Amino acid sequence: MNSPIGKDAVKQALSAHAAIGLLASAMLYLVCLTGALAVISEEWQRIEQPDAPEMPAIAPEAVQKAVTQILDDEKALKKTSHLYVHLPTPGLPRTTITTDHRAVHVERTGEIAGREENGWTEFLGALHYQLHLPGIIGLAIVGILGVMMIALSLSGVIAHPRIFRDAFRLRARDRGGIALADWHNRLGVWTLPFSLAIALTGAMIGLASVTGYGLAASFYEGNLEKVYAPIFGGEGKLDAHDAPPPDVAAALRDMASRAPQAQPYYAIIHDPLTRGQHVQIIATHPRRLIFGEYYDFDAAGRFRGKAGLSDGALGQQVAASSYNLHFGNYGGLIVKIAYLAFGIALCAIIATGTSIWLGKRERRGLYHPRLRNGWDGVVWGIPAALGITLAVRLIAGQDAPLIPIFWSLLALILGLCIAWPPQRAAKPRLRQLLGFALAACLIGALLPQLG
Amino acid sequence: MIMPALWLWVGGLAATMAVLGLRAAWSRQHRSTTANALCWGFMGLALAIGWAAAGAWGMAVVSLAGTACAFILLAQAAITAPTGKASASTRRAHMLPEKGEALHLWRRIATFLLCVPVALAVALLLALAARAIASAAGWGEADSNVLTLFLMPLCWALLLFALLMTQGRRAQARVLAALASIPILILLLERLA
């Protein structure tokens, strides 16, 4: 059967695939690896702080008690703009309150249990979302990487006319680049629906700020809030006059009768202790891709309406579904494990891609030992640096400066790899470093058990 | 919805069967269009069952079952494949110069500028024009804004690919100019209306 794609198109597509791949591969690898690890962020939080109080559910009165206590404790400070109560869920059965000033765990009784310590999970999330860059810059760069991933998937399919025909062929024992190419192409073809879903939703989320500004400038006289209000609902009217704490318990009690099938997992107080304050409950709906529905209550806990993410306009439902589809938190542990596996497969596709390109050049007599060692530094050095950072967090504690540690470690590893003697490969040493990092993580995780 | 859990299992099973069917169909000496079409049809049916059982959530779960089955088959292929003697590809990707060739750095920078900032601007224009059309066609604000949010990265990715597939700087410029002029016109008309 002749390929419907011409030889020239295949050649051009391979160039396009290589161009985009080489431009984006190192950053894409970092984002994919951190994304795969972030799928199990609830589990990381439990590893970081195994002794935090856990409960299958919490009474509305206990939540009220904790909220009142926190707001009272922070009276001397600047009023927090929002107060978030994370309610216990099967994935993370903990109650946690976060304000602009701190984050604390709450006992089942509503007593404040102590500080939330999830520094590494936060570090990992920030690395995946915005590469630790300020404002929307990092978010937009991650979105751009999503665009690159879509283009890579498309060019990869066109550049390899036999990619579907050979979809089940994996010559894992062949040498000289065959095995590497087979791993790249097979994992690529079978993760294609996953990659496209992840890439498009990631690009949409990351570039929403850029598109949002465009929408605001063209249709809303520059008002960005008006772009998102029809989708997620608008913010309430500000009234900064003092007011007593809102009745969160009444809102939670109302939820139990109003939407008994829904599982509330967040209670958010907007502008607490002001007359403009209102309570929003986010609740998941069973067997839905949406991240939840926003149920809105006034300060007295009277229901005001919902945003419509579960049953409103199609656009609202699509937007609310794109987050869970991206993060893989819509089907419990099994879906999380599948996302973790596919995420690692994506990392393997990226890692093998550049190695295949380097291998082809070497077979044509063009050697780039520094580039080869540098790429190995990316592939093995990033997980090693992440592992060492986790070990530091587990051993040195919550206040360890994880961001400077990670980036200086990574710069050091990459610098050493590029400066490595060209006649020697850096990979064996990098693998040892990764092994050391994983062992250190294990020791760090076992330390609390050893007392 | 009758017993959605049961239908999800049926959908997952159908997706698994479709992947197994494709494995069998693609290993035949001669490709059979009928067998391939049947397997892809079965895959479509599986996704439809997932959708009927639990909407987008059901479809996502069913497709995960099919992908998981393919991964198991791949693992089996990796374990059982004998050591071969085939020689690996040396296809040129034309990314770096061969020995004695010039680097053409300015040409590369120009390609980057066309494919990244310029294509981003054109993609944004296309998405905004689509929003204007959707709005004029009576779509609600939520639907048209979400359409724009999704269209921008999608248009950019397609445009990026199209530009890299187009040979010659003039042809690339023509593609960009043609694609930018349409949304500019639509947005101007929208302003005037």
In a shared domain, residues B115 and B187: yes
What's the token pair of residue A423? 């006649």
Q: Is residue B151 included in any domain, yes or no?
A: yes
Task: Write phi, then psi, for A74 (nearest 5 degrees).
Answer: -95, 15
Q: What is the C-alpha separation between A114 and B173, in angstroms, rounded? A: 61
Which residue is closest to A177 within chain B, CA to CA? Answer: B88
Q: Is residue B84 included in any domain, yes or no?
A: no
In a shared domain, residues B186 and B109: yes
Q: pLDDT tens across A204-263, in order?
A: 999 999 999 999 999 999 999 999 999 999 877 889 899 999 999 999 999 999 999 999
In a shared domain, residues B141 and B188: yes
Q: pLDDT tens across A330-352, in order?
A: 988 999 999 999 999 999 999 99
What type of residue sits at position A185? N
pLDDT band of B97, cuts 50, 70, 90:
confident
| Mean pLDDT score across all residues of chain B | 90
Q: Is residue B165 included in any domain, yes or no?
A: yes
What type of residue sits at position A358? L
Tell me the average pLDDT across B161-190. 94
Query: Which contiguous run of DSSP H or E holds residue A306?
Result: strand A303-306
**B48-53 CB contacts, 8 Å cutoff, 24+ apart:** B49/B7, B49/B8, B49/B10, B49/B11, B49/B14, B50/B7, B50/B8, B50/B11, B50/B12, B50/B15, B52/B1, B52/B7, B53/B1, B53/B4, B53/B5, B53/B7, B53/B8, B53/B10, B53/B11
Per-residue pLDDT for A144 more than 80? yes
Q: pLDDT tens across A91-131, in order?
A: 999 999 999 999 999 999 999 999 999 999 999 999 999 99
Q: Is residue B88 included in any domain, yes or no?
A: no
Contact state of B165 with A331 under an 8 Å Cβ cutoff: no
> Environment class of residue A239 by beta-carbon count within 10 Å: exposed (0-12), middle (13-18) or buried (19+)?
exposed
Tell me the average pLDDT across A181-194. 92
Per-residue pLDDT for B185 more than 90? yes
Closest by CA to A257, choosing from A45, A396, A60, is: A60
% chain B with pLDDT above 70: 97
Closest by CA to A156, choosing from B164, B66, B23, is: B164
In a shared domain, residues B127 and B186: yes
Q: Is residue B96 included in any domain, yes or no?
A: no
In a shared domain, residues B72 and B19: yes
In a shared domain, residues B25 and B74: yes
Per-residue pLDDT for B88 more than 60? yes
How high is the pLDDT of residue A1? Answer: 46
How high is the pLDDT of residue B182? Answer: 94
Domain residues for B168?
105-192
In a shared domain, residues B72 and B18: yes
In a shared domain, residues B8 and B68: yes
Contact state of B86 with A288 under an 8 Å Cβ cutoff: no
Q: What is the C-alpha separation between A272 and A237, in angstroms, rounded? A: 13
Domain boundary at B59, B78, B97, which? Answer: B78
Q: Is residue B99 included in any domain, yes or no?
A: no
**Across-strand partners of A83?**
A269
Closest by CA to A438, choosing from A383, A382, A376, is: A383
Per-residue pLDDT for A173 more than 90? no
Closest by CA to A111, choosing from A74, A59, A75, is: A59
Per-residue pLDDT for B140 more than 90? yes
Q: pLDDT tens across B44-80, in order?
A: 999 999 999 999 999 999 999 999 999 899 888 888 8
Number of domains comprising chain B: 2
In a shared domain, residues B117 and B59: no
Contact state of A20 with B160 under an 8 Å Cβ cutoff: yes
Q: Output the CA–CA distances (angstroms, integers) from residue B122 to B36, B116, B145, in the order listed.
A: 39, 10, 18
pLDDT band of A2, cuts 50, 70, 90:
low
For chain B, say whether A360 makes contact (Cβ under 8 Å).
yes
In a shared domain, residues B57 and B123: no
Query: Which contiguous run of DSSP H or E holds residue A98?
Result: strand A95-98
Q: Is residue B86 included in any domain, yes or no?
A: no
CB A418 within 8 A of CB A26: no
Question: Any idea what the Cα angle at residue A121 is, between residues A62 and A388, rounded to 5°?
Answer: 145
Q: What is the C-alpha separation between A397 and A412, in angstroms, rounded? A: 23
Domain boundary at B36, B59, B78, which? Answer: B78
> Torsion over CA of A206, A210, A216 and A219, rounded to 10 degrees?
-100
Q: Is residue B90 included in any domain, yes or no?
A: no
In a shared domain, residues B9 and B62: yes
Smallest CA–CA separation between B145 and chain A, in Å? 7
Best B33, B57, B103, B126 member to test A by mutation, with max A CBs in 10 Å, is B57
In a shared domain, residues B74 and B109: no
For chain B, say whether A347 makes contact (Cβ under 8 Å).
no
Q: pLDDT tens across A380-433, in order?
A: 999 999 999 999 999 999 999 999 999 999 999 999 999 998 888 899 999 999
What's the token pair of residue A164? 């579907």
Stretch among A2-6, A53-57, A278-282, B19-23 having the lowest mean pLDDT: A2-6
Task: Write phi, then psi, for A281 (nearest 5 degrees).
Answer: -110, 130
A77 vs A366: which has the higher pLDDT: A77
Determine what percent of chain A falls in helix, strand and coil, rounding each to the nearest 5. Answer: 60, 10, 30
Contact state of B140 with A315 under an 8 Å Cβ cutoff: yes
CB pairs under 8 A between A and B: 231
> Could you say which of A155, A171, A219 has the minimum Cβ distance to residue B84?
A171
How high is the pLDDT of residue A117? Answer: 96
